[in-house]
Amino acid sequence: MARTSDSTAFAAPAAAASLALRVPPVNVPATTHVIVVAVDLARRRHIDVARLLAGCDVVEEQLRSPTLGVNRAQELQVFSNLLQLTNDASIGLAIGRQMHVSCFGLPGYTMLVSGTVREAFACLRAFPLLMGLYFDVSVNETGERVEIVLDGYGYERELEPLYADMCLAAIITIVEDLSASAVVPLEVSLRHLAPDHAAAQRQVYGCKIGYGASRNSIAFDAALFDRRCPLANVVSFDAMHRQCAQLEREWVLAATSDFATRLRQVLAQDLATYSSIGRLAAHLCMTERTLSRRLKCEGLTFQQLIDETRQQRASEMLARGMRVADVAEALGYCDSASFRHAFRRWSGMPPSAFRERCAPAQP
């Protein structure tokens, strides 16, 4: 009988499993662990670290501080910079092979003291934010085969191959750390077609690679997951697992707090620029589909947010006595008639009547 990711060993809170992919990256807390790995790799390749960190609002000296807080958007910017600076599409493989389990902080050490590799890998599903996942992760087990599936990618499409390589290579590294032995997967499947760096992929994965698949995945012999971790300690595991669970809940709260309010603030600051869902999604480092899905979770549509923001801005400008034509132009309407129709729909009265009502009484 097949065992899937719903089995006890691999189970995780359903609400948290894909949370990092449903909110803007700037709202997702992160640690500096992965950024430090990228910095170390850049230094070995004689790349200016300041250029690597450009646009991230972080300097190298801050990265070693345990109190530094970063977010997913800063991580994404670092990897985008690294790809441009190296012009090396295989860079995700190199990063993944450096992502030892200790790079993941508290959840990584929780994995190290897990009873078995299977128990350790449940942390990928249980703590997606703490683990810094770029995909939804599910685990399917059938007979003697365990397949780890990476799906639901929600960031820039052109960077998906890099992140897929990074995550799959990191999984190999983690399995080796947990089992204290060299590991060769049974098979790797990738959504994209065979890239120019296919030879590098064959060297790192060391197994059959299927391109153009419906999802990214990596399969192992199930016996690997029954191995006891060399540092297994049930007391330490229980204590650290509880700490991870608490921190994951805190990060979930931080990531989901006032999402709609933050969107309204962005729109209010520059409605002309972000009146397009594509431009707003790009500003948030999300795809249009991901943004629409996140808004649906909030019971909203993009058009509702636009209408709310326009109504508020229109009311403020009309109250100051601005001409209807000027308000229509400021809000991005192609003509005054379209604005008048929209304002009447919002407020039940023409904009000129609203302006007159707001005018100060004459003595």
Give me 249's structure tokens. 């809940």
First to last CA, the chain: 86
Number of Cβ atoms within 10 Å of the Cβ of 47: 17
Buried b (16+ CB within 10 A) or exposed e, 337-359: eebbebbeebeeeebeebbeeee
Look at residue 98 and tell me whether its pLDDT is greater than 90: yes
Global pTM? Answer: 0.69
Which residue ranges form the domains of the chain, and what is each CATH number? Answer: 8-253 (no CATH), 259-358 (1.10.10.60)
For the chain, what is the total number of helices (H) and then of strands (E)?
Answer: 19, 7
Q: Are strands 216-221 and 208-210 parallel, antiparallel or unpaired?
A: unpaired
Q: How much of the chain exceeds pLDDT 70, in percent? A: 91
Residue 70 phi/psi, 5° resolution? -125, 175
Three-state secondary structure call for residue 140? strand
Confidence check: pLDDT of 105 > 70: yes
Q: State pLDDT tens for residues 226-266.
A: 999 999 999 999 999 999 998 888 887 677 666 777 788 78
61 CB-contact burial (10 Å; exposed 0-12 / middle 13-18 / buried 19+): exposed
Contact 34, 162 (CB under 8 A): no
Cα 229 to Cα 113: distance, rounded to the nearest angstrom:
7
Predicted confidence at residue 220, as pLDDT, reads 97
Residue type, 294: R
What is the β-pairing status of strands 208-210 and 187-189? parallel
In contact, 222 and 179? CB cutoff 8 Å:
no
Residue predicted with more confidence, 202 or 30: 202
Give the pLDDT of residue 22. 57
Q: Among candidates 55, 52, 56, which has minimal Cα distance to 37?
A: 52
Tell me whether strands 29-30 and 145-151 are parallel, antiparallel or unpaired.
Answer: unpaired
Does the structure show a pLDDT above 70 at 1?
Answer: no
C-alpha atoms less than 13 angstroms from C-alpha of 222 in its C-beta half-sphere: 12
Residue 110: closest CA among 252, 251, 248, 254: 248
Q: Choose between 102 and 15: higher pLDDT.
A: 102
Please count the other Cβ atoms lying within 10 Å of the Cβ belonging to residue 68. 12
Q: Indicate whether 46 pLDDT > 90.
A: yes
Within 8 A by CB and 6+ apart from 276, the residues are: none
pLDDT bracket for residue 355 (50, 70, 90): confident
Output the average pLDDT for the chain: 86
Strand partners, 70: 30
Q: Find the helix or strand (DSSP H, E) in which 30 lies.
A: strand 29-30
Using CA atoms, how far apart are residues 18 and 136, in angstroms rounded to an integer?
Answer: 5
pLDDT at position 25 is 80
- What CA–CA distance (Å, rounded) separates 227 from 138? 20
Which of the residue ranges 62-76, 83-97, 109-123, 171-185 would you say has the lowest mean pLDDT? 62-76
| pLDDT of 258 | 67
pLDDT at 152: 84
Q: What are phi and psi of 155, to 5 degrees?
A: -110, -160
217 pLDDT band, cuts 50/70/90, is very high
Q: pLDDT of 145-201, one tens digit each?
A: 999 999 888 788 888 999 999 999 999 999 999 999 999 999 999 999 999 999 999
State pLDDT tens for residues 324-344. 999 988 888 888 999 999 998
Contact 72, 25 (CB under 8 A): yes
Cα distance between residue 210 and residue 22, in whole Å: 28
